[in-house]
A and B are shown apart, each in its own frame.
Chain A
Amino acid sequence: MRLGRVTPGAVAPARRMLLAATRKGSEPPGLGAPSPSGQWDSTLKIAIVDESPIRATILEDGLREAGFTQVERIADTRNLLARIYAIDPDVILIGLESPSRDMLEQMFQMSRAVRRPVAMFVDQSDRAAIQAAVDAGVSAYIVDGLKKERVTSILDLCISRFNAFARLQAELDHAKGALEERKVIDRAKGVLMKAKNLTEEQAYALLRKTAMNENKKIVEIAQSVLTAAELFQ
């Protein structure tokens, strides 16, 4: 496994997300501005485009907990734009690992629908924040008119949910790995039991002793046993 820059306690996420925000062009200027209490945030309509149902659920739950009531998921990216127009969201979340991201770029070309998201990258002073977001697997677009601070709160939420998902994934991978190792050791025990007429405990003890003598992991010795057994077949 190749590791990128990994901060302590965080696992580089396998999947990456992009946050895009759009503004309804028909809105008169000023209407879209958030109220001082920040109430406006919860009325944002958010669409999640994600082929990973688990991550989409984690994100949706997080957004709902944070008070966003209008969250919709799009799992199938066929006719993606048509679906997005039907939902008419203010904010779109999409995985950076999804090739469908290029389809969204077409929205920025619209003349009639007049939804023209402007990238958050515009603000060069936000470089550090952007870098942190991309490292975590989230990248962001923001709209003319939609205040950046408003989107930033969603972004922060996505980053933390993403890292949570990545940790979950890493734990799952680890658990899967452990299960695989057990299978290899069990099979090696079987080979030894048959070949040397040992009990299960004796076979395991032999593997463990050999591993200690050779300063290797038990699973490595077990794998060598299996390889050797195949050769002798």
Chain B
Amino acid sequence: MSRTRLRIGYIPLIDAAAVIVAVDCGFAAAEGLDVELVREVSWSNVRDKLNIGLFDAAHLLSPMAIASSLGIGHVRVPIIAPFNLGLNGNAITVLPRLYAALTEFADGDLADPKVSARSLARVVAQRKSCGADPLTFGMTFPFSNHNYQLRFWMAAGGVDPDEDVRLVVLPPPYMVESLASGHVDGFCVGAPWNSVAVDAGLGRILHFGCEIMARASEKVLAVREHWANENAALLSALIRALMRAAEFVDAPANREAVAATVACRLDVGAELVARTLAGNLKIAPDGATRDSDRYIIIGRDDASRPDPVQAAWLYAQIARWGQAPTSDELCALAQGVFRPDLYEAALGSKLAQHSNEPRDGIGAFVGPDFVPEDIAGHLATWHNRRDSRPKLSIVR
């Protein structure tokens, strides 16, 4: 049987595990697919190559799939997400000296994001009063959970992310170096980069992303809507291969094999990948660790099913920070990007198992339950919402 060739672009991050394992452990081949995995250096490249058809599919930041479909920040190319590659997996890491300052101003346990956000507001106010430069935080892309999680956390403590601090886009491989050079005071990035900073003794993990939001769609498999329509059978085969791979990644018995396979593509140690997948991270250079079975979720708890509630939540963040206007129409378009129908068509209807999941599907650490039907009402609860475009990059 001749196999169909596919080109899939990815960024070397641990949440590409399902794609990597599907290809390198034979799940794609078993579905008759001959996949060429193409490693990329920037999300912009991944997006553009997907847009113009150099890639058939890509490992993509979930909010980018929505931004592309809405035509914000770049040209409008309808992208769909028929498979969710991972939930969560990010963390906020800060310089030890910022951690010390946060400790000094904390009114409780810094592991509680409510406490750390309030403490951050006090540090920011103190720096302002003595004329110090505003704190600078790195994140990976304007349309990313890294951007939104930092903003959500800061704003909860009363910090205005557009006025009180600087947020700068940094490519993940530059994050650790930027911490070392003092160019940034902290960052929000995906695995393995937080652990790399901690292992190098340069940073301390303040929060896991899942402490900010318990369930956040982090990366999706993205394909052009047009391509999906033309290649329905092929897409179904790819979804099945990814599902098997995701379940393989999740099974603890396979951890060693998965870690070795993924580490090979990422050029990091297999042990670090295994720690990450187990949700057991060293958070401080002194060796302190933190454990969470929610740190990164691949292939379990219905994580692979693209959930339109997640799409609505991401659209709400896009609107909250002024990257797009607030409208029911745009929200509906955003929800249409996530395609559980295609997922179910490929796999058969699977009964969702949400035993341990937040009741609104998101589980943000503050604020009311998320109601996707009423984005405007939801955003009204955040009084510092802006109508203009964000000023997230004023670095003059």
- Say yes or no: is A44 at the interface (Cβ < 8 Å to chain B): no
* A-binding segment of B43-51, B199-207, B240-248: B43-51
| Contact between chains at B170 and A103 (CB < 8 Å) | yes
| Contact between chains at B173 and A109 (CB < 8 Å) | no
| Contact between chains at B75 and A106 (CB < 8 Å) | no
- Taking A81-B168, A97-B41 as contacts, is the C-beta distance between A105 and B181 under 8 angstroms? no
Cβ < 8 Å to A, chain B residues 109-152: 140-142
* B-binding segment of A53-61, A115-123, A164-172: A115-123
Q: How does the 8 Å CB contact mask read for B51-86 relative to A, with 1 for contact and 0 for none?
A: 111100000000000000000011101000000000
- Say yes or no: is A211 at the interface (Cβ < 8 Å to chain B): no
Cβ < 8 Å to A, chain B residues 373-396: 388-396
| Contact between chains at B74 and A111 (CB < 8 Å) | no
Pick from B44, B51, B173, B390 the residue with the most CB of A within 10 Å: B44
- Say yes or no: is A160 at the interface (Cβ < 8 Å to chain B): no
- Taking A96-B45, A101-B45, A102-B43 as contacts, is the C-beta distance between A111 and B169 under 8 angstroms? no
- Taking A105-B142, A109-B142 as contacts, is the C-beta distance between A100 and B171 under 8 angstroms? yes
Chain B nearest CB: distance from A93 CB in Å?
14
Partner pick for B393 among A78, A97, A106, A139, CB 8 A cutoff: A106
Q: How does the 8 Å CB contact mask read for A8-34 relative to B, with 1 for contact and 0 for none?
A: 000000000010000000000000000
- Say yes or no: is A99 at the interface (Cβ < 8 Å to chain B): yes
Q: How does the 8 Å CB contact mask read for A100-142 relative to B, with 1 for contact and 0 for none?
A: 1111111111111100001101100001001100100001000
Residues of A in contact, count (CB < 8 Å): 33
- Say yes or no: is A79 at the interface (Cβ < 8 Å to chain B): yes
Chain A nearest CB: distance from B281 CB in Å?
24
- Say yes or no: is B276 at the interface (Cβ < 8 Å to chain A): no
Q: How does the 8 Å CB contact mask read for B73-110 relative to A, with 1 for contact and 0 for none?
A: 11101000000000000000000000000000000000
How far, in angstroms, from A104 to B141 measured CA to CA in the complex? Answer: 10
Closest to B36 in A: A2
Closest to A135 in B: B54
Chain B nearest CB: distance from A100 CB in Å?
6
| Contact between chains at A107 and B393 (CB < 8 Å) | yes
How far, in angstroms, from A110 to B396 measured CA to CA in the complex? Answer: 12
| Contact between chains at B75 and A79 (CB < 8 Å) | no
How far, in angstroms, from A96 to B52 measured CA to CA in the complex? Answer: 15
How far, in angstroms, from A145 to B24 measured CA to CA in the complex? Answer: 47
Determine the chain A residues whose CB is within 8 A of the CB of B390 once the complex forms. 109, 111
Determine the chain B residues whose CB is within 8 A of the CB of A98 once the complex forms. 41-42
| Contact between chains at A111 and B391 (CB < 8 Å) | yes
| Contact between chains at B44 and A101 (CB < 8 Å) | yes
| Contact between chains at A103 and B169 (CB < 8 Å) | yes
Chain A's interface: helix, strand, loop or mixed, by majority?
helix
- Say yes or no: is B323 at the interface (Cβ < 8 Å to chain A): yes
- Taking A85-B396, A101-B45 as contacts, is the C-beta distance between A111 and B388 under 8 angstroms? yes
- Say yes or no: is A82 at the interface (Cβ < 8 Å to chain B): yes
| Contact between chains at A108 and B74 (CB < 8 Å) | yes
How far, in angstroms, from A96 to B73 measured CA to CA in the complex? Answer: 18
Work out how many contacts link A and B, with CB atoms closer than 8 A: 96
- Taking A98-B41, A102-B42, A102-B43 as contacts, is the C-beta distance between A108 and B142 under 8 angstroms? yes
| Contact between chains at B44 and A105 (CB < 8 Å) | yes
Closest to B171 in A: A99
Determine the chain B residues whose CB is within 8 A of the CB of A106 once the complex forms. 142, 168-169, 392-393
Determine the chain B residues whose CB is within 8 A of the CB of A85 once the complex forms. 395-396
Closest to B71 in A: A122
| Contact between chains at A102 and B171 (CB < 8 Å) | yes
| Contact between chains at A105 and B141 (CB < 8 Å) | yes
Closest to B389 in A: A111
- Say yes or no: is B5 at the interface (Cβ < 8 Å to chain A): no
Chain A nearest CB: distance from B92 CB in Å?
19
Chain B nearest CB: distance from A81 CB in Å?
5
Determine the chain B residues whose CB is within 8 A of the CB of A139 once the complex forms. 48
Closest to B73 in A: A108
- Say yes or no: is B183 at the interface (Cβ < 8 Å to chain A): yes
Determine the chain B residues whose CB is within 8 A of the CB of A79 once the complex forms. 183, 395
Closest to B140 in A: A102
Chain A nearest CB: distance from B131 CB in Å?
20
Cβ < 8 Å to A, chain B residues 168-185: 168-174, 178, 181, 183
Chain A nearest CB: distance from B173 CB in Å?
6
- Taking A97-B41, A99-B174 as contacts, is the C-beta distance between A119 and B393 under 8 angstroms? no
Determine the chain B residues whose CB is within 8 A of the CB of A82 once the complex forms. 395-396
How far, in angstroms, from A109 to B173 measured CA to CA in the complex? Answer: 22
Determine the chain A residues whose CB is within 8 A of the CB of B388 once the complex forms. 111
Pick from A78, A81, A99 the residue with the most CB of B within 10 Å: A99
| Contact between chains at A121 and B395 (CB < 8 Å) | no
Pick from B75, B77, B178, B392 the residue with the most CB of A within 10 Å: B75
Determine the chain B residues whose CB is within 8 A of the CB of A99 once the complex forms. 41-42, 171-174
19 residue pairs bridging A and B, Cβ less than 8 Å apart: A78-B183, A99-B41, A99-B42, A100-B42, A101-B45, A102-B42, A102-B169, A102-B171, A103-B169, A105-B73, A105-B141, A106-B169, A106-B393, A109-B142, A111-B390, A111-B391, A119-B75, A121-B74, A127-B52
Q: Which 4 A-B pairs have the closest CB atoms?
A: A99-B171, A106-B393, A111-B389, A101-B42
5 further contact pairs, Cβ within 8 A, besides A110-B391, A111-B391: A79-B183, A82-B395, A99-B41, A100-B174, A134-B52
Q: Which A residues lie at the B interface, using CB under 8 A?
A: 18, 78-79, 81-82, 85, 96-113, 118-119, 121-122, 127, 130-131, 134, 139
